[in-house]
Structure 1
Amino acid sequence: MVDYSTLPQNKILCVDMKSFYASCSAVMRGLDPLNCYLAVAGNLERQGSVVLAASPRLKKEFRIKTGSRLFEIPNDPRIQVVEPSMATYLRISTEISRVFNRYVPKEAIHTYSVDESFIKVDGAIHIWGDATTIAEKIKDDIEREFQLPCTAGIGPNMLMAKLCLDLEAKKARSGIAEWTFADVPEKLWNVSPLSEMWGIGRRIEKTLNGMGIFTVGQLARFDLEKLEKKFGIMGNQLYYHAWGIDLSNLGAPIIEGQISFGKSQVLLRDYKEKEEVEHVILEMCEEVARRARTHRKAGRTVSLGIGYSQEEFGGGFHRSKTIYRPTNVTMELYKVCLDLFHEYYNGHTVRNISITLGNIVDDSELQLDLFDMGAGKRRELGYVVDRVRERFGSGALLRAISYTAAGTAKQRATLVGGHKM
């Protein structure tokens, strides 16, 4: 048994904007977000385009959800399909954060994603009322000022607030629910399949099922040493998360130690030529390196994921390589990715690519290599290019490969968040 009396007992809200992209697009068109039939799709000219968001009624009655394809949407006159307006969504998200700031200081707000935030309200309870009252006030403000629906889960830590949101608040008539540690056995342990719990994906669920674990309660009562032996530090996290325990500070990742920089891309078409795939890998390495430099970070572990086309029954590979010297230089990342690509690629048609730089250290920790006197200049050149792009736009400086038929950076430079503004 876990002694919850020794753990922090905070009041944290996890506020989620309901079908945010679809709701924003509905309001922009004078529609009721909760009663209209509207989908936001990445590109209306491609039938295979991904649905980025669907209104609640479209989800319920037509089973269209995020991740569905454009061709799956029925030809029904009630349904509107629109392209995203990412710049508008981001602006509205910023304005909603200002609503939170009316009730708590900025340091008590953690923007988890464009449509989801954590808010620590402990210090505001004596001013505005209990956590549920504050959640109701925030919900009313957002609905009155933006005509957008939202839900809120309340818990003693970030994990419990998120679990309460996903497993109860989103289904509640009021859109608000609160969990305490006393609710863990009744409300959390009965959760099955395991993938319904935040933080457990299909792959981990399958492994846990193979160990005879099918509910969160079974996970909580499983031998901790065996979980750690099987999953490493993640086994420890899985065990304590099953008890509702999370010691993360507000603003930190919910799962500690997972800091990395990455980029993934579903290609607009199947790439059949090896050279074309290499062109996109170089573009993506440049983006990953830029993200690391933006935070003055570098990394030692480079991961490359390649997903094959569904026309060839899917599949692919995901491999990593750790290098001796941390880097945030584009061409150094590219060389490692090419090594992995050449070693594991089997010639199949490629449809998606992902690249991650992990094992992160501060850029200030980089050491000069006496056998590579040009390393410092290559590193500084990356920062110079970043400054040019920051001032004149991401499309101001592009590699020649971006102007070939395989390149995607030129087109993506016109997007916000990977989609049209």
Structure 2
Amino acid sequence: MDQLNQSQYFDYSLEPRRAILFQDVKSNYASIECVQRNLNPLTTSLCVMSRADNTKGLLLASSPTFKKVFGVKNVSRASDLPFLIETRKFNYPQWYRSHTDIHGQRTAPSVQYVAYIESWAKRTWLVPPQMQLYVDYKIKVTDILTNYTSIEEIHSYSIDESFLDVTESLNLFYPDIENRYVQMNQIALDLQREILHKLGLYVTVGIGDNPLLAKLAMDLYAKHNRNMRALIRYEDVPDKLWTIPKMTDFWGIGKRTEKRLNKLGITTIKELANANPLLLKQKLGTIGLQHFFHANGIDESNVREKYVPKSSSFSNSQILPRDYPKQWEIELVIREMAENLATRLRKGGKLASNLSLYVGAAVTSEYSSLKISRNIEATQNTKELQDLAITLFREKYEGGAVRQIGISGNRLSSASVKQLSLFETPEESQNTEKQESLQKAIDEIREKFDFLAIRKASSLSEGSRVIYRNKLIGGHAANQEMEKKDVS
């Protein structure tokens, strides 16, 4: 390797060199739906689409063929598709929205293109999400991963991605192979084959000397390779990292960060890797140093060391299924969300010293959205948080329909340390203790059975969201029955 191309700052022989794999199930949700229907995940046109009332056709995931044919990305809208989902006919309004020039002149699609889209549209599966099914498959995939390393050496990055440290497994599985990178490639191949054989899912694997290089190998190269595997070693940094065409293709660098780097005269990953680290820290702070180390392929994190976030807030928000014009309906949802917040605080052993409320106005409303925040005495009490949230709402609400509500408990502290009030009477103190005992009993019943095992009569009201929301997983339907419209 030409030493002039290497970074001036690092001696890679001093860096930890582990055998790290980054595993990603290709088009996870869509692939699972294909497997359930005995379809090939790579050649079938399938899209997982939520048709719940508050989404109006949200594309959650799609198969590789669907993306290639229709040219859409995940997390798009049904209105972005080149065909109408009800009739499978060509979507002319969508075409003209993106094919009209500044003079208002339209470019009509060719007859061949229209026929091509409609032909594929008729063969396309549009299916509702089944989040519980996807969670079940995640468990099955993880079980297979434990055949290659211990559970302590596996870090789930998301529902379809995981880091694996297989350093200690290489010589155990492949004692006759001397080259460690050949061993790493072989273990990745065996992992791919086992998941495909047992679950029918195709897996992309990035291979590297550390977690960062394995992740970049998967993102930048493995996805585009026929065998769906790729390797990046420390020695490959100049050829495989510094040659990335767009800075935003690099992990952790978005358009905003790119603009800040451009102002410093840094326009490529190579320039970032060879920049002055002191200048980067001065202009961008600690994150600037992190980008500098990453551009040089440096990452000393350990898969074994699980990241435990120090949450500074607990928050929850939801888009309502329709416009809520009545104040009592809006307050009902606010009370339900405040109760959910209190439950999470108690489960996490936290007290909130600040309460924030967001009430998003409907498009049809003549009033503006509300954003309210207030410091409060540290609490996790359900009634206190409900009363406070309603008080904040009534202070600012002037009328109009509402479509979105969010609530957040901020400035968290440990529930094991609670400041006593000098102004609380013995009767009030006794009442507080009774409420806390009751809430603890309710929490224990819900934890053992289900959140809906104990619920208020108001949950049966038309505007209530507590029953529906507590059946969701990750904000989406757990199974097909929860979707109100059949899209299959």
TM-score, normalised with respect to structure 2: 0.71
Distance change in 2, residues 1:13/1:77 (3 Å): same
The reply on whether 1:34 has 2:69 as its aligned counterpart is no
Measure, in 2, the Cα distance between the counterparts of 1:344 and 1:232.
38
Aligned equivalent of 1:91, options 97, 120, 136: 136
1:387-415 Cα deviation digits (max 9, x unpaired): 22223322233456654554322212233
- Structure 1 segment 96-245 matched on structure 2, within 5 A: 96-129=141-174, 130-191=183-244, 193-205=246-258, 207-209=260-262, 213-225=266-278, 227-228=280-281, 232-245=285-298
Task: Tell me, in whole angstroms, the C-alpha distance in 2 between the residues paired with 1:366 and 1:64.
Answer: 52
**SS where residue 148 of structure 1 aligns?**
coil
Q: Does 1:8 align with 2:16?
A: yes
User: How far is 1:165 from its partner?
Assistant: 1.6
CA contact (8 A) 1:47 1:70 kept: no
C-alpha deviation, 1:247, in angstroms: 3.5
> Is contact 2:54-2:322 (8 Å) kept?
no
Residue 28 to residue 9, structure 1, CA distance change in 2 (3 Å): same
Residues 167-190 of structure 1, C-alpha deviations (whole Å, 9 max, x = no match) = 221122111112223333332334
Distance in 1 (alpha carbons) for counterparts of 2:139 and 2:155? 12
Structure 1 residue 38: Cα displacement: 0.7
**Cα deviation, residue 24, structure 1:** 0.7
Residues 207 and 419 of structure 1, relative CA distance in 2, 3 Å threshold: farther
Residue 473 of structure 2 aligns to a residue whose secondary structure is coil
Q: 3-state DSSP class of the match of 2:32? A: helix
| Corresponding residue SS for 1:90 | helix
Per the alignment, do residues 309 and 370 of structure 1 end up closer, same or farther by CA in structure 2, a change over 3 Å counting?
same
CA displacement 1:333-352 (0-9 Å, x = unmatched): 66787798789999897655
Equivalent residue number for residue 249 of structure 1: 302
Measure, in 1, the Cα distance between the counterparts of 2:217 and 2:363. Answer: 36
Residue segments in structure 2 that go unaligned for 5+ positions in a row: 1-8, 89-120, 175-182, 480-488
CA shift at 1:269, angstroms? 3.7
Measured after TM superposition, the shift of residue 110 of structure 1 is 1.6
Aligned residues of 1:248 and 1:254 also touching (Cα < 8 A): no
Deviations 1:207-247 (A, max 9, x none): 55555554444444455455545555444434433333334
Q: Identical aligned pairs, as a percentage?
A: 36
Residue 449 of structure 2 is aligned to residue 392 of structure 1: yes
**AA in 2 matched with 1:138:** L
Distance 1:53 1:214 in 2: 33
In the other structure, the counterpart of 2:61 is: 53
CA distance in 2, matches of 1:55, 1:185: 33
Gaps of 5+ in 1: none
Instruction: Please tell me the root mean square deviation across aligned C-alpha atoms, in Å.
Output: 4.0
> Which residue in the other structure is 2:116 paired with?
none
The question of whether the paired residues in 2 share the 8 Å contact of 1:369 and 1:375 is answered with no
Provide the rounded CA distance (Å) in 1 between the counterparts of 2:282 and 2:432.
40
Partner deviation per Cα, 1:344-380 (whole Å, 9 max, x = no partner) = 9998976555555566655434454455546666555
User: In structure 1, what is the equivalent of residue 464 of structure 2?
Assistant: 407
For 1:385, the aligned partner's letter is I
SS of corresponding position for 1:395: helix
CA deviations 1:75-121 (Å, max 9, x no partner) are 21111111122222211211111101112111111222221111111
Query: Separation in 1 of the partners of 2:375 and 2:296?
Result: 34
Q: Is the 8 A contact 1:22 1:53 kept in 2?
A: yes
Q: Is the 8 A contact 1:41 1:82 kept in 2?
A: yes
TM-score (norm 1): 0.81
Letter in 2 for 1:199: G
Aligned length: 418
Shift in Å, 1:248: 3.3
Separation in 2, partners of 1:127, 1:303: 54
Cα gap change, 1:405/1:294 in structure 2, threshold over 3 Å: closer, same or farther?
Answer: same
2:78 is aligned with 1:70: yes
CA contact (8 A) 1:261 1:292 kept: yes
Structure 1 residues 340-349 or 286-295, which shifts more?
340-349
Q: What per-residue deviation string (whole Å, max 9, x for no partner) do you get for residues 257-297 of structure 1?
A: 66764444344345567775555454344434434443444
Relative to 1, partners in 2 of residues 1:69 and 1:290: Cα closer, same or farther, differing over 3 Å?
same
Letter in 1 for 2:206: G
Q: Distance in 2 between matches of 1:61 and 1:141?
A: 29
C-alpha distance in 2, partners of 1:329/1:110? Answer: 35
CA distance in 2, matches of 1:316, 1:247: 45
Q: For the residues of structure 2 that align with 1:381 and 1:148, how far apart are their CA atoms?
A: 47
Matched letter for residue 157 of structure 2: Y
Provide the rounded CA distance (Å) in 2 between the counterparts of 1:139 and 1:93.
15
Paired with 2:387 and 2:275, the residues of 1 have a C-alpha distance of 43
- The equivalent residue for 1:419 is 477
Shift of 1:22: 0.8
Give the letter for the 1:415 counterpart. Answer: L
**TM-aligned CA deviation for residue 16 of structure 1:** 0.9
Verify the 8 A CA contact 1:307 1:352 in the aligned structure 2. yes
Contact 1:368–1:376, Cα closer than 8 Å, also in 2:
no
Quickly say closer, same or farther: Cα 1:302–1:155, change in 2 above 3 A. farther
Task: Sort the Cα spacing of 1:362 and 1:395 in 2 relative to 1 into closer, same or farther, 3 A.
Answer: same
User: Counterpart of 1:182 in structure 2: which amino acid?
Assistant: E
User: 1:143 and 1:268, CA in 2 relative to 1: closer, same or farther beyond 3 A?
Assistant: same
Q: Which residue of 2 aligns with 1:364?
A: 416
